[in-house]
């Protein structure tokens, strides 16, 4: 059954990749989906088709230069224009970019070097609070409480320090990753997972409570407003002159900022992808894999496991730090609620759904989960609430939709979805939807017998 599907898919791929077919298909898809999204900015199927068109640039077999050109055109020209037309899509794509970077970072820790990290959001939080603190009035409000803060306090730094802080975020998060990594080297496996969980919670609780002796984080209320980098003079004007006729309405300041943040996020993601690719293929990447598979043998081969593990922690953390800075600026607001254990597990879900250790897989996982989270589920909730207000009836059961409890709101049940996805993936496809080639080989092998972990002295 499984094999026949596979062969059919292969035949389909071969059929699609004949001659000039992929070029026509890809461009056709892009034109069609762009027209659809442009025509009905609110329709979700057309947006999904749009995302599919974007991925088709990658799947179809085309000349490398053409692929690259199409991708750049798509990312830099099409998306901002369509995004200016409907800002919500730009937001969705921005979130996909943010979570892709986070998932890729976690992928280095979990996927490449096999260290399970449940506190990954802590590094993201550190990045976000770094700019949240220095990029707002907070340093001037250290002695003010939540109630006594003056509204006209000057900002601490000029807004354009933001760009510097992206790099600072990388460094600070990496250093924190090293600090967390140092003691963590002594433990492995499930204990490591628990330590990282505890660490993540500690960071969140600190963010929640550090408003007291000195008001660093402004407690549960979070810090706001946080500065955005200044928009260069004339950009808004130019944007309006060029794309106003296409978009159909004036591009406002906020929309221009959305486009700017999207472009920065895109840059960061591209950088992250390139770094990850290079790392995966390098000596370091192979060493990580070796450590993951068998630390003892890796050590015997002359690999310095401790150094490399620390490196994995630092690299993974640094991606999250950069994205945290970006996130704080784009939201102009940070609060501890964003960095919960739920979010850490959400990112882990992306990695596992897509395929541990596989770069394409992780990006697909991030896209799917983000779309599910902020688009499909919410529109489903909306659909249900519309049904509730209508007087339609389920025919045979004679059940009125208006009886449906208004507590049934699918967009609030992320945990259920993350949880079920994790369990099902672990049972049926531990390698993920698009497994990394190496990983696939390993996980399909069954251990010789069930006695792999029977060592250890008397228990219970």
Partner 1 sequence: MRKFMGTVDLRQILLPIGQMAIFVIGAGALCSVIMLILAMLCRGSGADLALQSTQGVGIVSYTVNSLPQVLIDGMTIGFVYAAIALGYTMVYGVLQFINFAHSEIFAIGAFCGVESLIALNGLGILARAGTIGSFLYFGLALLIGMAASGGMAVLVERVAYRPLRNSPTLVPLISAIGVSFALQDVIRLTESLTTGQFYRVIPTFGDFDDHLTILRIGSRVIDIQVKSVVVILAAVAMLVALNYLVKATKVGKAIRAVAQDKNTAALMGIGVNGIISLTFLVGGSLGGAAGVMYALKFTRIDPFVGFMPGIKAFAAAVLGGIGNLTGALLGGMVLGMIESFAGAYLGTYTMGAFGAEYKDMVAFLILILVIIFRPNGLLGEQVSQKA
Residues that bind partner 1 (CB under 8 A): 114, 116, 118, 183-184, 186-191, 193-195, 197-199, 201-202, 205-206, 208-209, 212-213, 294-295, 341-342, 345, 348, 352, 405, 407-408, 413-416, 418-423, 426-427, 430, 443, 446-447, 449-460
259 vs 366 by CB, closer to partner 1:
366
420 vs 437 by CB, closer to partner 1:
420
Residue tagged 């800075």 (tokens): 325
Task: Judge whether 201 and 109 are in contact, CB under 8 Å.
Answer: no
Alpha-helical runs (H) found in 185-304: 189-209, 235-247, 253-280, 283-293, 295-300
Residue tagged 């799917």 (tokens): 368
CB of 300 vs partner 1, minimal distance in Å: 14
3 vs 449 by CB, closer to partner 1:
449
How close are the terminal C-alpha atoms of the chain, in Å?
A: 45
CB of 222 vs partner 1, minimal distance in Å: 16
What b/e readout covers 312-345, taking b as 16+ CB neighbours within 10 angstroms?
Answer: bbbbbbbbbbbbbbbbbbbbbbbbbebbeeebbb
5 vs 460 by CB, closer to partner 1:
460
CB of 92 vs partner 1, minimal distance in Å: 23
Question: What tokens appear for 402 in the block?
Answer: 């208006």
CB of 188 vs partner 1, minimal distance in Å: 5
72 vs 426 by CB, closer to partner 1:
426
32 vs 194 by CB, closer to partner 1:
194
Task: Judge whether 284 and 311 are in contact, CB under 8 Å.
Answer: yes
Q: Which residues are CB-neighbours of 168 under 8 A, at least 6 positions away? A: 130, 325
CB of 458 vs partner 1, minimal distance in Å: 6
CB of 353 vs partner 1, minimal distance in Å: 11
Residue 147 φ then ψ, to 5° = -85, -25
46 vs 215 by CB, closer to partner 1:
215
Determine how many CB atoms are found less than 10 A away from the CB of residue 219: 18
Residue tagged 């794309």 (tokens): 243
111 vs 135 by CB, closer to partner 1:
111
CB of 173 vs partner 1, minimal distance in Å: 19
CB of 450 vs partner 1, minimal distance in Å: 5
Distance, CA of 247 to CA of 236 (rounded, Å) = 14
Task: Judge whether 36 and 49 are in contact, CB under 8 Å.
Answer: yes
Distance, CA of 198 to CA of 186 (rounded, Å) = 16
């Amino acid at each position: 059954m499984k094999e026949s599907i596979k062969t059919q898919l292969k035949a389909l791929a071969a059929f699609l990749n004949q001659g000039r077919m992929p070029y026509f298909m890809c461009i056709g898809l892009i034109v069609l989906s762009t027209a659809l999204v442009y025509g009905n900015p609110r329709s979700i199927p057309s947006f999904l088709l749009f995302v599919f068109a974007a991925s088709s640039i990658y799947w179809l077999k085309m000349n490398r230069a053409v692929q690259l050109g199409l991708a750049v055109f798509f990312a830099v020209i099409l998306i901002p224009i369509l995004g200016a037309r409907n800002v919500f899509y730009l937001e969705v794509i921005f979130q996909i970019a943010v979570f892709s970077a986070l998932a890729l970072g976690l992928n280095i820790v979990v996927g490449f070097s096999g260290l399970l990290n449940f506190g990954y959001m802590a590094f993201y939080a550190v990045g976000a609070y770094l700019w949240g603190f220095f990029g707002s009035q907070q340093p001037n409000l250290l002695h003010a409480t939540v109630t006594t803060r003056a509204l006209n306090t000057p900002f601490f730094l000029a807004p354009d320090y933001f760009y510097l802080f992206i790099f600072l975020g990388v460094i600070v998060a990496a250093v924190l990753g090293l600090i967390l990594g140092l003691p963590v080297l002594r433990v492995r496996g499930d204990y490591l997972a628990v330590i990282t969980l505890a660490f993540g919670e500690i960071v969140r609780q600190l963010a929640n409570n550090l408003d007291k002796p000195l008001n660093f984080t402004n407690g549960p209320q979070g810090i706001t407003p946080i500065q955005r980098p200044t928009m260069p003079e004339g950009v808004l004007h130019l944007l309006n002159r060029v794309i106003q006729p296409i978009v159909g309405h004036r591009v406002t300041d906020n929309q221009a900022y959305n486009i700017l943040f999207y472009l920065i996020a895109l840059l960061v993601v591209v950088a992250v992808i390139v770094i990850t690719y290079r790392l995966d293929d390098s000596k370091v990447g192979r060493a990580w894999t070796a450590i993951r598979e068998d630390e003892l043998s890796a050590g015997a081969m002359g690999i310095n496991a401790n150094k490399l593990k620390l490196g994995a922690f630092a690299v993974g953390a640094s991606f999250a730090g950069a994205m945290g800075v970006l996130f704080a600026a784009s939201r102009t607001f940070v609060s501890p609620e964003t960095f919960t254990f739920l979010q850490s597990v959400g990112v882990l879900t992306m990695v596992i759904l897509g395929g541990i250790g596989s770069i394409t897989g992780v990006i697909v996982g991030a896209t799917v989960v983000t779309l599910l989270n902020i688009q499909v589920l919410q529109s489903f909730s909306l659909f249900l609430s519309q049904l509730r207000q209508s007087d339609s009836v389920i025919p045979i059961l004679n059940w009125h939709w208006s009886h449906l409890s208004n507590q049934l709101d699918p967009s609030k049940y992320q945990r259920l979805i993350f949880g079920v996805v994790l369990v099902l993936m672990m049972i049926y496809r531990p390698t993920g939807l698009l497994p990394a080639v190496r990983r696939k080989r390993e996980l399909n092998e069954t251990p010789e017998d069930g006695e792999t972990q029977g060592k250890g002295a008397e228990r219970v």
